[in-house]
Amino acid sequence: MRRLRIIGVAVAACLWAGNAAAQISQQALTTAEVGQIISQAVAEARARNVAATVAVVDRVGNVLGVFEMTGAAGTLRVTSGKGIARTNGLEEVQQTFTNLGANGSPTRKLGAIAKAITGAYLSSSGNAFTTRTANQIIQEHFNPGESFAPSGPLFGVQFSQLPCSDLSVRQATNGVPTGLVDATAGPKRSPLGLSADPGGLPLYKSGVVVGGIGIESNGTYTIDPVVTDQDADVEEIVALAGQSGFQPPDDIRANRIFVEGKSLRYIDQDVNVLSSTPANTPTFASINGTQGNLVAVRGYYAGGALVAGTAYGNSESGFAADPNGDYNGVGGTVFVLFNGNNPPTARFAPRDSISPTTGNGGLTTAEVRQIIRSALRVAFASRAQIRRPLSSQVQVTVSVVDANGNILGIARTFDGPIFGTDVSLQKARTAAFFSSTTAGTYLGTFNSTVGGTPSTQNANGKTISEYVTAVRNVLGSNALQDGTAFADRSGGNLSRPYLPDGIIGEANGPFSYPIATWSPFNTGLQLDVVFDNIATHILYTDVGGANNDTGATCSAFTADGGTQLTRISNGFQIFPGSVPIYRNGTVIGGVGVSGDGIDQDDMVSFLGLHDAGIALGTGVGNAPPARRADQLRAPGGNLRYVNCPFKPFLGSRQNNVCHGK
């Protein structure tokens, strides 16, 4: 047995070393392949007598084609199926558009794009996730239906990649947009955020993610509250036909990946149920114009012709290896973002803090670099929770912001799922924001840009400052101004429809709606501050004309004095994976991590900052323990700050590695 153990350790070490050296190959979809994928999906839809809208995107969210079968156009009804009425978040939002005279909005095309982006963004060479996977991990219990169990690990991720994000790039069909997005390449936004409606799958070539396919055919954009049954979801089956030839390897599918001992859902049916034979599918040319058309989607796709995908890892995709040497020697290949210009230029290289300035204690370029380096080093040394094979390294994106949410640096391990790019920034900003002494005041200056009356209400009539009142009712009148350090896990505790999380019968957290009106389409503060932006964007894409697109920053607050950037310019995120950055007791920023298990995300941010603080010796580090939100007593007990994972590191038996730090 001892001999076996030695062999085992040696093998693990080899795997680990192998992983560190590995880099995924560059793969991309050709236009012919995009046509084949669409044609396969259309054949299955026809065999099932449904009219589908098929969207195909590449790994970074470029829309490569949107094919609307004859009769497929129509309104997308948004509903969780819980019977929640209009004006509650996105629930029944199509009725709101009808009232505004925008009949038919949102269109089904948007649903198809959101699903395709979700399939592509959640997946990597280590994990193949679908919109069904997303559905399983964003609900009030994990698993959905397991009463009393805490919420899904990615609770709230559906409101990322938002159309108002200052990070997510706009499609080139409209030229370089105004505002802060200084790039044409890189992760694209999604019209409705990420989708939990089955019918979105990833596409692979040679084990590498090359994109995603999304199907909308039933006109309902929803969730599946029951995951213990086995659905025969037509949208999913049509997507499965489209995916034929571009499937992920069996071994990395969600159903082989376990979180808290629970395997994740990949799909509910397999290729045996197909009514068509993908191998015999007619050419795309033979169906284009006869069975439907490539249709334009303003802000996403010009229509008319198929587009080839970009290869992730090539700077044209917006992601490639760091050219500046900022992250050499951290244990693996590090990717950064690129802007798509000619010649391509890296985005978000480490820079000095803007607010506070470096003279006033803000992070210096060297400090930002060290924080990201330390975090990436932790990631490369750690055991992934959502990747196969076993003993894979954690793959994530790390974002650092200053106290006002200005981006100071973003970098990622080479195969982190794309969604984590935007989400890590959301998390970093959320931690920095709620840890500031002006958070409460700031939220009170919410300023609707689409005619909320008064302007402190959003277009659904929700008053943002009421969340401040609610949180003070729970945590005391000094909350959001007393300088308590909120990690995203702590704020997340307050953003669930039950407090404590998952416990049926308990009241809602102060940043959430009560369970009666809560749904993944109506989360609370997180959605209410960006609802106007999403509504504006939908009018722009579907109707156009005088309807301008939302700006490249989410939400608006009069406290910002008219500058376009807000402190939460790509929206709040409410699941764990970030901590605020302190220097000598003062919050000066935040570090956010996304892409692996939430405990891993927590640890990479917390330990990364801790290690950087030791390496720097400049007073930078985690919040003083006495200031952290886990000192606060909420119903059920103290809030959590971070939860570092069991058996965190590869090749080590260490546990409880965040204790005492």
Partner 1 sequence: MANRAAYGAIAAVVAAAMLAASPAQAGKERIRTAAPAPQPILVQQRIPQRERRQDAIEPVAPADLSRIGPPQPNLPAEFIPIPDRWRLIDNLGVKVNFWDPYNQNTLKADRPLPGTDDFFVNLAVISDTVIEPRRIPTPISPNSTQKPGTNDTFGDGDQMFYLQNLVVSLSFLQGDTAYRPPDIEFRITPVFNFTRAEVEERAVLRRNPADGKVRNDVHLGIQEAFFDYHIRNVSRRFDFDSFRVGIQPFSTDFRGFLFQDNQLGFRLFGNRDNNLFQYNIGYFRRLEKDTNSGLNDLGEEIRKDEFFIANLYLQDLPRLGFVSQFTILHNRNDEDSEFFFNKNDFIERPASFGDERLHKYNVTYLGYNGDGRVGRAQLTTSFYYAFGEDNHSQLNGNLIDDNADIRAFFFAAEPSFDFDWFRLRGSFLIASGDSDPFDKKEEGFSALFENPQFAGGDTSFWIRQGIPLIGGGGVQLTQRNGVLAELRSSKEHGQSNFNNPGIVLVGIGTDFDLTPELRLSTNFNHLAFDDTSNLQVLRNQGEIDEEIGWDLSAAVIWRPLFIQNIVLRLSGAMLLPGPGFKDLFASSQGADEDVLYSILANGTLTF
Min dist. Cβ of residue 331 to partner 1 (A): 17
Min dist. Cβ of residue 385 to partner 1 (A): 5
Q: Which two tokens stand for residue 431?
A: 């931690």
**Hey, what amino acid is at 555?**
S
Closer by beta carbon to partner 1, 405 or else 576 = 576
Tell me how crowded residue 196 is: count the other CB atoms within 10 A of its CB: 29
Closer by beta carbon to partner 1, 461 or else 625 = 625
Min dist. Cβ of residue 628 to partner 1 (A): 7
Closer by beta carbon to partner 1, 270 or else 614 = 270
* Residue of 132, 170, 139 lying closest to 153 (CA atoms): 139
Residue 276: beta bridge partners? Answer: none
Min dist. Cβ of residue 288 to partner 1 (A): 33
Closer by beta carbon to partner 1, 4 or else 279 = 4
Closer by beta carbon to partner 1, 71 or else 260 = 260
Min dist. Cβ of residue 474 to partner 1 (A): 12
Closer by beta carbon to partner 1, 300 or else 641 = 641
Closer by beta carbon to partner 1, 260 or else 305 = 260
**In which region does residue 207 sit, left (phi positive, over 0), alpha (psi from -120 to 50) or beta (all else)?**
left
Residue 503 to residues 150, 487, 497: CA-CA distances in angstroms? 7, 22, 9
Residue 191: beta bridge partners? Answer: 193
CA 509/CA 467 separation, integer angstroms? 10
CA 318/CA 327 separation, integer angstroms? 18
- Beta pairing class for 200-205 and 334-338: unpaired
Q: Please say whether the beta carbons of 141 and 502 come within 8 A.
A: yes
* Residue of 402, 318, 420, 307 lying closest to 360 (CA atoms): 402
CA 575/CA 573 separation, integer angstroms? 6
Min dist. Cβ of residue 506 to partner 1 (A): 7
Closer by beta carbon to partner 1, 21 or else 226 = 226
- Counting Cα atoms < 13 Å in the Cβ hemisphere of 440 gives 18
CA 415/CA 211 separation, integer angstroms? 14
Closer by beta carbon to partner 1, 332 or else 645 = 645
CA 70/CA 567 separation, integer angstroms? 44
Maximum CA extent, the chain = 74
Min dist. Cβ of residue 525 to partner 1 (A): 19
Q: Is the link from the previous residue into 350 a cis peptide, with omega within 30 of 0?
A: no
